[in-house]
């Protein structure tokens, strides 16, 4: 079966070690993480992880079910790239002298929609937001100018589906026969 | 002016709290959870807990094993026979790492055990302090959940969560690592049992449409077969399984850990599945047109070659763990829920039927297996003693009523094949992990869990020596377990594979053994060697009738093999009955 790119979005409780538990599942199946982003989600106390992996459709379902099984994982979503809106961010540190020739700055800003964050006699820092291919294209353009440093972020993604996390959390609570107010206190 | 003590008392009365140390709080939590037995081993970091434990005599019975691995296996066996979570204590560092085999074993076999490990003082964590190990990191791949407690006030809530997680849903081991300072610092104690965790809901809503679809598939099947596993026992669904099978008339096969979930003597029982299971249920899996898998996970030892597994059958998978569904075998209908709940709802929807012609196919297989394997294994008239005849005789003498514990290898496969189980949860064995050394400590946990039952441990001479130190525990507490060593002087199962697949080259499988009777005497356990067939029955009777522990060293045919066998890579229908 063909491997393709999947974005796994996980909403988890803020439990120490949860990232390890998730990566162990991928490690066991010899799946490399292409990119990873972790942050607090829009719901307070809920962490969000976005992983990009390359694997088969069958395997991604298996690992997603194993992730969903983890006690501290609230919800796992698996998406192909066309089901999400996503961005990555890159920073480039380039020799200033290299950028001064011709209309390079103009080309970078207008054609690549990049920003210039800092200028010094020695180097400039350029920021580019986009898909991996676009970030790589700009890197290719800048390489002859002398790239001193290049860093790329993990993917951040938003799903196209209408139902939001809060609705899932409510549903999960609805399905749980034990509500917090039903907890009986001993002593 | 009130004294400080009086002030505290007033405060306690006002809030319903009591100020205690973390160690005291831990023990109170265990009492609240209904724990009465702890298996463990002390050490530096856990001393505050052990110190408090002295004052819990009569409430919390502590069994000091001779190695932490023994404590872990004993706690697991205790959980398997009682249905209550087992509890196990160990200190930091080596104490905790010695548990790992036991934790992994409980994880693979879905047994609820709460492991409490101590940790160095919190400000030393991460400094490579004396006896410091990152046990959360080490245990992470083999636990259902783990957590570290660094503040005494977090102990009650964490312990409550640990028990809730360990015993609900698909059960499993939980590790709680408590720093030494959290054990001696004080907290305002109040205990509330946990039955709600936002991110974890073990009570899955019933999917009635799927159950209706299952009933239609079942009612239309011509050659249906039930494969039942450990999930039936965990769910307590033995009666439902019996009712379901009797109403539908569908033959039943059990996995290794499912053994004792269905009466061995029942006319619909077709035998045990797997590499060394019975011929009928394995061979006929590939003839079935419908497989109803209940609380089992299509382990590779059950399926053989997946590419040739059950290709004629549609498959219904009733399983509480969603991650097990479509993992190894792609199924036609999944019912992700508790076995008992599903069967309860399914029974009214299925038609009363019988499949006499289909059952006859199993009887024909049984006859073949009896002629080619079982007769010579259980009723040999000459030659060296066979494992099968020993197990069969113990089965008859105990009327299938004992709790049987095994080690791993030929002894285990032979027990699974030849003991006739009459009560649920009466086999304690290491399934998924196949942990040699499991048997002896597990027999201790089983006997303490069910003191009124005869507990018989069948061990190989290899596995026995992996945890032989637990004879010390048996001596210490006079635990009346009956130990049978099926002694062939070999690591028998490995030797069998060497014979079959490695040109009979016996690399490191022959053992030079000590005199086990002398060793048993050192531990004041009565013991005897049996090497002749004529003395077997009397010796077994003497063992079973002796009060207290007893050890029988039974000399078995050195190079006998367990048959039949699904060879590695072979399909279930290619099971071999004879050794070539």
pLDDT at A185: 36
B146 contacts A17? CB cut-off 8 A: yes
Q: Boundaries of CATH 3.30.70.260 in chain A?
A: 4-84
Residue B86 half-sphere exposure toward CB, CA atoms < 13 A = 36
The closest of B126, B105, B323 to A16, measured between CA atoms, is B126
- The mean per-residue pLDDT over the stretch B250-266 comes to 97
A182 band by pLDDT with thresholds 50, 70 and 90: very low
* Chain A residues in contact with B195 (beta carbon < 8 A): 178, 182-183
Q: Which two tokens stand for residue B307?
A: 């590419």
Give catalytic status of residue B130 as yes or no: yes
Closest CA of chain A from B114, distance in Å: 15
Check residue A183 and give its pLDDT: 40
- Over residues B382-406, the pLDDT tens digits come to 999 999 999 999 999 999 999 999 9
Q: For residues B527-556, give the mean pLDDT.
A: 98
Alpha-carbon separation of residue B124 from B115, B129, B176 (angstroms): 22, 6, 18
Point out the least confidently predicted range of B88-92, B194-198, B295-299. Answer: B194-198
Q: Where in chain A is the domain with CATH 3.30.70.1150?
A: 85-152
- B86-115 pLDDT, tens digit per residue, is 999 999 999 999 999 999 999 999 999 999
pTM of the model: 0.94
Kindly indicate the confidence band of residue B580, based on its pLDDT and cuts at 50, 70 and 90: low
| Cβ–Cβ contact A118 with B under 8 A | no
pLDDT at A180: 47
Is the model's pLDDT at A174 over the cut of 80? no
Task: Please report the pLDDT score of residue A177 as a whole number.
Answer: 56
Of B24, B68, B238, B334, which residue is the catalytic one? B68
Nearest Cα to Cα of residue B285 among B312, B324, B255: B312
How do A84-95 and A147-152 pair as beta strands? Answer: antiparallel
List of domains in chain B: 13-189 (3.40.50.970), 208-361 (3.40.50.1220), 385-559 (3.40.50.970)
The DSSP letter of residue B142 is G
Give the pLDDT of residue A172: 74
- Whether the CB-CB separation of B422 and B444 falls below 8 Å is answered with no
Is residue A73 within 8 A of residue B330, CB to CB? The reply is no
Q: Does the annotation count B89 as an active-site position?
A: no
* pLDDT at res. B244: 98
**Statement: residue B426 has pLDDT above 70:** yes
The answer to whether residue B164 scores a pLDDT higher than 90 is yes
CB pairs under 8 A between A and B: 76
Structure tokens at B5: 């003590």
Which band of pLDDT confidence, cut at 50, 70 and 90, is reported for residue B13?
low
Mark residue A55 as left, alpha or beta (left: phi above 0; alpha: psi -120 to 50; beta: remaining).
beta
Predicted complex ipTM: 0.90
| Residue A94 token pair | 């380039």
CA dihedral in degrees (A159, A162, A168, A170; nearest 10)?
A: 140
The reply to whether CATH 3.30.70.1150 applies to domain A85-152 is yes
Output phi, psi for A166, to 5 deg.
Answer: -55, -40
Q: Measured at the alpha carbon of residue B279, what is the angle toward residues B274 and B284, in degrees to the nearest 5?
A: 90
Burial of B88 (0-12, 13-18, 19+ CB in 10 A): buried
Task: Give yes or no for a contact between A10 and A67, defined as CB atoms under 8 angstroms apart.
Answer: yes
What is the CATH number assigned to the segment(s) A4-84?
3.30.70.260
């Amino acid at each position: 079966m063909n491997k393709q790119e999947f974005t796994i979005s996980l909403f988890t409780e803020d439990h120490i070690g949860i990232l390890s538990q998730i990566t162990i599942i991928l490690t066991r199946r010899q799946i490399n993480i292409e990119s990873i982003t972790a942050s607090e989600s829009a719901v307070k106390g809920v962490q969000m992880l976005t992983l990009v992996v390359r694997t088969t459709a069958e395997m991604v379902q298996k690992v997603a079910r194993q992730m969903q099984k983890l006690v501290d994982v609230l919800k796992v979503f698996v998406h192909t790239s066309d089901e999400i809106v996503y961005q990555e961010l890159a920073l480039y540190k380039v020799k200033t002298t290299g950028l001064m020739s011709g209309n390079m700055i103009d080309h970078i800003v207008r054609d690549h929609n990049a920003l210039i964050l800092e200028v010094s006699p020695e180097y400039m820092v350029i920021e580019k937001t986009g898909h991996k291919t676009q970030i790589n294209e700009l890197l290719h353009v800048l390489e002859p100018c002398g790239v001193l440093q290049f860093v790329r972020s993990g993917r951040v993604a938003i799903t196209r589906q209408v139902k939001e996390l809060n609705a899932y959390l409510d549903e999960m609570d609805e399905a749980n026969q034990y509500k917090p107010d039903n907890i009986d206190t001993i002593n | 002016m009130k004294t400080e003590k009086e002030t505290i008392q007033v405060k306690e009365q006002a809030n319903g709290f009591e100020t205690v140390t973390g160690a005291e709080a831990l023990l109170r939590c265990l009492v609240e959870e209904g724990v009465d037995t702890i298996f463990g081993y002390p050490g530096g970091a856990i001393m505050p807990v052990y110190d408090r434990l002295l004052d819990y005599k009569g409430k919390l019975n502590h069994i000091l094993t001779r190695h932490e691995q023994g404590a872990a296996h004993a706690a697991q066996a205790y959980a398997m026979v009682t249905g209550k979570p087992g509890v196990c204590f160990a200190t930091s560092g080596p104490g905790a790492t010695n548990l790992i085999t036991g934790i992994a074993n409980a994880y693979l076999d879905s047994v609820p055990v709460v492991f409490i490990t101590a940790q160095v003082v919190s400000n030393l964590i991460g400094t490579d302090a004396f006896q410091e190990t990152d046990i959360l990191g080490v245990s992470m791949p083999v636990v259902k959940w783990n957590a570290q407690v660094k503040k005494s006030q977090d102990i009650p809530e964490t312990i409550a969560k640990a028990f809730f997680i360990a015993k609900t849903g698909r059960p499993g081991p939980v590790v709680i690592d408590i720093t030494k300072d959290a054990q001696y610092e004080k907290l305002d104690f109040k205990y509330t049992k946990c039955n709600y965790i936002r991110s974890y809901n073990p009570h899955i809503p019933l999917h009635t449409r799927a159950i209706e679809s299952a009933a239609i598939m079942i009612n239309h099947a011509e050659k249906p077969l039930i494969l039942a596993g450990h999930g039936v026992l965990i769910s307590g669904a033995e009666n439902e399984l019996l009712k379901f099978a009797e109403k539908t008339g569908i033959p039943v096969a059990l996995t290794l850990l499912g053994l004792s979930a269905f009466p061995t003597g029942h006319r619909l029982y077709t035998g045990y599945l797997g590499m060394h299971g019975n011929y009928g249920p394995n061979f006929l899996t590939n003839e079935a047109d419908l497989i109803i898998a209940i609380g089992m996970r299509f382990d590779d030892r059950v399926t053989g070659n997946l590419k040739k597994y059950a290709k004629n059958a549609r498959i219904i998978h009733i399983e509480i763990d969603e991650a097990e569904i479509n993992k190894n075998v792609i199924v036609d209908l999944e019912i992700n829920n508790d076995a008992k709940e599903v069967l309860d709802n399914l029974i009214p929807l299925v038609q009363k039927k019988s499949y006499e012609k289909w059952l006859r196919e199993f009887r024909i297989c049984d006859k073949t297996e009896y002629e080619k394997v079982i007769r010579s294994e259980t009723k040999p008239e000459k030659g060296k003693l066979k494992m099968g005849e020993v197990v069969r005789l113990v089965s008859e003498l105990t009327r299938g009523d004992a709790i049987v514990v095994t080690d791993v290898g030929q002894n285990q496969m032979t027990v699974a094949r030849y003991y006739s189980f009459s009560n649920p949860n009466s086999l304690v064995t290491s399934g998924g992990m196949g942990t040699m050394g499991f048997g002896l400590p597990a027999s201790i946990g089983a006997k303490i869990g069910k003191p009124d039952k005869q507990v018989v441990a069948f061990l190989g001479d290899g596995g026995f020596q992996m945890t032989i130190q637990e004879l010390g525990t048996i001596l210490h507490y006079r635990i009346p377990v009956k130990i049978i060593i099926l002694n062939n002087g070999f690591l028998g199962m490995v030797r069998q594979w060497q014979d079959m697949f490695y040109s009979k080259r016996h690399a490191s499988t022959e053992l030079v053994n000590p005199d086990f009777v002398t060793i048993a005497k050192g531990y004041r356990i009565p013991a005897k060697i049996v090497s002749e067939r004529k003395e077997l029955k009397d010796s077994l009777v003497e063992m079973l009738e002796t009060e207290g522990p007893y050890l029988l060293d039974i000399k078995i045919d050195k190079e006998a093999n367990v048959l039949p066998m699904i060879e590695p890579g072979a399909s279930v229908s290619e099971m071999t009955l004879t050794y070539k």
